[in-house]
Amino acid sequence: MEFRIEKISEKLLVGMNEKMSYIDDKTFKLWRNFMPNRNTIKNRVDNKYYSLQVYDEVFDYHNLNPAKIYTKWALVEVTSVENLAENMEVYRLKSGMYAVFIHIGPASSFAKSLKYIYQEWMPKSGYTVDNREHFEILEEGYDPTKEDAKEEIWIPICK
> 83-95 burial string, b = 16+ CB within 10 Å, else e?
ebeeebeebebee
**Per-residue pLDDT tens digits for 110-141:** 999 999 999 999 999 999 999 999 999 999 99
DSSP class of 121: I
pTM score, whole prediction: 0.95
Mean pLDDT of 10-33: 97
Containing 153, the helix (H) or strand (E) segment is: strand 150-158
Residue type, 131: N
Give the end-to-end CA distance of the chain in Å, rounded to a whole number.
21
pLDDT at residue 47 in the model:
96
CA dist 119 and 42 (Å) reads 40
pLDDT at residue 85 in the model:
86
Cα–Cα distance list, 45 to 5, 41, 112 (Å):
22, 11, 31
**Per-residue pLDDT tens digits for 25-40:** 999 999 999 999 999 9
3-state helix, strand, coil in the chain (%, to 5): 25, 40, 40
- 36 Cβ neighbours under 8 A, 6+ residues apart: none
**Per-residue pLDDT tens digits for 84-105:** 888 999 999 999 999 999 999 9
pLDDT at residue 86 in the model:
87
CATH 3.90.76.10 fits 3-158, yes or no: no
The three-class DSSP label of residue 8 is: strand
Q: Are 113 and 103 in contact (CB under 8 A)?
A: yes
Mean pLDDT of 63-82: 96
pLDDT at residue 1 in the model:
87
Statement: residue 154 has pLDDT above 90: yes
Q: Are 132 and 94 in contact (CB under 8 A)?
A: yes
pLDDT at residue 2 in the model:
86
